[in-house]
Amino acid sequence: MLAVVVLLLAAGCFAKDAAAQYGSVRGSVFDADLRDELPGATIILDDLDGEKKFVVTGTDGLFSFHRIFPGDYSISVSFLGFVTQTDSILVALGTEIFLEIRLDPSEIEMEELVVETVRTEADRFVAGLDAVLPEDLTRIPMPDVSYDLAGYLLTLPGFVSPGDRGGQLFVRGGTPTQNLFLLDGMNIYQPFHIVGFFSAFPADIVAYADVYAGGFSARYGGRISSVIDISTRNGSKRKPKGAISIAPFMSTLRVEAPVIKNQASILISVRQSLIEYVGPTFLGREIPFRFSDIFAKFHAFLNQTSSFTATVLRTKDQGNISGKGAFDENRRLSTWENEAYGVKYSYIPIDYPALFTFAVNYSRLVSQYKVSQTESRDSEANGMKFEMSFNYLLGSNRVDIGLFGNLDRFHYKLGRSARVSSFVSSGGAYVDTRFILNDIIRIEPGVRIESFSHGVSRTVAPRLRAIIQPKGKSSKHQFSFAVGRYHQQIIGLSNEQDVSDVFTIWAASPQSRPVPTATHYLAGWRGRILPWVELSIEGYLKNMDNIAFPVFTDQIFGQPNFARVSGQARGADFKMEIQVPDYFFSANYTLAKVEYFGNKTAPQGEAVIADDVFFPPHDRRHQVNVLGQVIRGRNKLSIRWQYGSGLPFTQVNGYYQFDRIRNAEDDSFLTSNGAAFVSRSSLYGARLPAYHRLDISYEYRIRRGDVATTFQIGAINVYDRDNIFEYNIFSGSRVNQLPFTPSLAVKVEVL
């Protein structure tokens, strides 16, 4: 508690008289030849100290940056088919600069190939979407100076994680296997590391991420809950760059360099955990987790019209999920390894405003949960994906057409039971469009048609999103709506009765049965009540059918079956964001409810859940995230507090030994002991204690020429809250999440 006050007081020391001393930059962008306005041109304003702002010109070719702190800036303007212009400007106190920028058409401007998504101000506010930029990731206090997308995702409203280990993520009622994680188009099955602050997506490689908590467009499929689509940046094509960081949890090496100057580059990121080794010395206790990842990306302009990208990702996690004692290979050892390989070819016709992309990706996950020396559970998922897309720009409107095919192979083996294999395929097409009807209304209708080898033969999934700005571009209020239908042929079976269990069986949906399906409805409002205060509210409703839910026998250690249930998730996210120079503050609150409905009857081989309604173990009703950041010169202080109401769990009545009576002539039950059984109380009828935690980090950054060094000190769980991670009802043992954990990190970057 004292530490909190001291740090908060320290934060106050950075505050000075914050009079509104701003300038502004406005302008218009024209085609230098035709003198036409250029809607959709990207303008980046760089304060030369790493802070970038960007906007996109509207239909009239105009743009503006407001409340710009006085100083020197670099401004860069780019647009598909034109030569990028870069210049420096000085923004003086209280002045408004108006720039008239004329872009010269280029025969081919290949750098635009990397800009595959043009985002306008309205794009920032789309129901269900959180558009994440790398600088967003660095706002989250982490025990690592390199930052990671995982830390950010856990601050988003509606994103529920049962704890800081194991990396399970539930998004607005959806389970981990209903979330689609894409890294440059490659599907990553289990992207979180065993320490949940970390994922396969370090901030250093992220260009941007589109995080859809629902209502995603027709170009995405195969999952029914959410999409986290991460685009990585290309390595530098001009000069070698790199970074190295050392931190107790994760240490990083990043190297990027031109392979052929200005034409081809490579980016390599290698991360390795150290916590297993430094834990006993640094923290005074064993932390039996090992995790690592390696990412490599090669990007090249093949000629003036096409580019090629090859991406590789490998991750490895291993640890005793209970987190107690030294690393032990024979006691509740969880292991998982992701592999993903992808290639992408992009082509821009010389005389046509379109982009053609062809991509092939292969992903694999091998996971094992070793219960004891002799018993283990194994699962393997392999997926091959082909996708061909055509993106047409029709003025400010856009039409995307895609063809895709998926081949998936799964194996799993539970204990001594036989290995089960399945193979499925799917294929189809989508049309995703964007029409800007006028300054007020933009609609994005789309449809995805997909055939599945298992389940129902063909699905048609319409999607629609709409954005309304009642007063056009000057509107302080925006409304956004989304509705869509979603299917997935792949199911994931995890021990949801124990949310801390990270082992998941990936399998095909049963043959000739309906596949899991969801329908999303979202509606949101965003308003800027003051120039520096933004409020937003978003409500959502997800109806889900044919959800696989594990059903455990009362016999202890009996093999679980699964029931096919339906469900509904609904809730509302409230968010406030305050941003002024040097200060950032956001707070969000989620009110949510997830209900599953029992199936009553089941076909042969499936289980029954007799309850009319029950609340699955990821039904978190209340969630609060508060984030504050102060940047003063070389100093940066970040504070985050999270609160989550208790998750449901099933209480027990007790245990008994039971020998089933086989028939009326069998008297052995009178004297036999039988096997151990558990008597469970009402399904998920009780709640675990609430979760809350305060994390703080402080950074000091110095730069000498092209070398920047960042020092970081921080602490996780500042007030040492005993947040529960796992409670074993059989043994009565409780495992808590990380206690108060200080960290010290340093990062050296060659810029």
Partner 1 sequence: MPRTNILAGAVWLFTAAAIFAGCENSIEPLAEDANSFVFLNGFLDTATDSQFVRLEGLRPTILAAPRDLSGVDVLTVDRTSGEIVVWKDSLVVLKDGSDGHLYMGLFTPQEGHDYEFVVRRPGLEAATATTTIPDEPEIQVSTPTGDTIVFTQKASLRDVFSAPSTLAMRYDVSIPETGEIQTFMIDYGIEGGAAGTGWSFDVFLFRDQQIISFSLGLPTNVASLALRRIAAGVVINSAEWNRQENPTNLALAQGFFGSVGRFELGWKLDPSDVFKMGFLDEQDLWMGAKQDLFRRKTVLLAVPRQ
Binders of partner 1 among residues 454 to 473 (CB under 8 A) are: none
DSSP code of residue 105: B
Burial class (CB in 10 A: 0-12, 13-18, 19+), 514: middle
Near partner 1 by CB under 8 A: residue from 105, 325, 633, 689: 689
Binders of partner 1 among residues 13 to 72 (CB under 8 A) are: 15, 17-19
Cβ 637 to partner 1, closest distance in Å?
11
Q: Is 574 in the site for partner 1 (CB under 8 A)?
A: no
Cα angle 615, 192, 173 (rounded to 5 degrees) comes to: 20
d(CA 731, CA 633): 53
Near partner 1 by CB under 8 A: residue from 278, 441, 608, 746: 608
How many helices, marked H, and strands, marked E, lie in the chain?
Answer: 5, 45
Cβ 20 to partner 1, closest distance in Å?
8
Near partner 1 by CB under 8 A: residue from 98, 277, 423, 656: 656
Q: Is 6 in the site for partner 1 (CB under 8 A)?
A: no
Q: Is 600 in the site for partner 1 (CB under 8 A)?
A: no
Segment contacting partner 1 by CB under 8 A, of 133-141, 370-378, 562-570, 728-736: 728-736
Whichever of 10 and 108 has its CB closer to partner 1, that residue is 10
Among 541, 623, 560, CA closest to 589: 623
Q: Is 615 in the site for partner 1 (CB under 8 A)?
A: no
Binders of partner 1 among residues 690 to 709 (CB under 8 A) are: 690, 692, 694
Is residue 584 within 8 Å of residue 139, measured between CB atoms?
Answer: yes
Q: Is 628 in the site for partner 1 (CB under 8 A)?
A: yes
Can you spell out the DSSP letters for 34-63? T--B-TT-EEEEE-SSS-EEEEE--TTSEE
Segment contacting partner 1 by CB under 8 A, of 37-45, 115-123, 174-182, 720-728: 720-728
Near partner 1 by CB under 8 A: residue from 260, 326, 661, 707: 661
Dihedral, CA of residue 381, residue 382, residue 384 and residue 385, to nearest 10:
20
Cβ 607 to partner 1, closest distance in Å?
9
Near partner 1 by CB under 8 A: residue from 62, 659, 740, 744: 659
- 512 C-beta neighbours (distance < 10 Å), count: 9
Binders of partner 1 among residues 531 to 570 (CB under 8 A) are: 532, 553-554, 556
Query: How long is the chain?
Result: 751
Segment contacting partner 1 by CB under 8 A, of 4-12, 94-102, 224-232, 272-280: 4-12
Q: How many residues bind partner 1 (CB under 8 A)?
A: 72
Cβ 559 to partner 1, closest distance in Å?
13
Q: Which residue carries 């389970």 as its tokens?
A: 175
Strands 289-301 and 306-320: antiparallel
Whichever of 470 and 558 has its CB closer to partner 1, that residue is 558
Contact map string, positions 193 to 212, toward partner 1, x by CB under 8 A: --------------------
d(CA 104, CA 82): 5
Q: Is 673 in the site for partner 1 (CB under 8 A)?
A: yes
Cβ 540 to partner 1, closest distance in Å?
25
Is residue 571 within 8 Å of residue 645, measured between CB atoms?
Answer: no
Near partner 1 by CB under 8 A: residue from 46, 96, 286, 582: 582
Q: What is the C-alpha end-to-end distance of the chain, expressed in Å?
A: 39
Segment contacting partner 1 by CB under 8 A, of 10-18, 90-98, 306-314, 613-621: 10-18
Q: Is 611 in the site for partner 1 (CB under 8 A)?
A: no
Q: Is 312 in the site for partner 1 (CB under 8 A)?
A: no
Angstrom distances, CA of residue 351 to CA of 79, 234, 304, 348, 356: 15, 26, 13, 9, 13
Cβ 287 to partner 1, closest distance in Å?
22
Whichever of 453 and 723 has its CB closer to partner 1, that residue is 723
d(CA 648, CA 686): 6
Whichever of 573 and 726 has its CB closer to partner 1, that residue is 726
Is residue 361 within 8 Å of residue 341, measured between CB atoms?
Answer: yes
d(CA 291, CA 502): 14
Near partner 1 by CB under 8 A: residue from 100, 351, 612, 665: 665
Q: Is 88 in the site for partner 1 (CB under 8 A)?
A: no
- Dihedral-angle region of residue 671 (phi above 0 means left; psi in -120 to 50 means alpha; beta otherwise): alpha
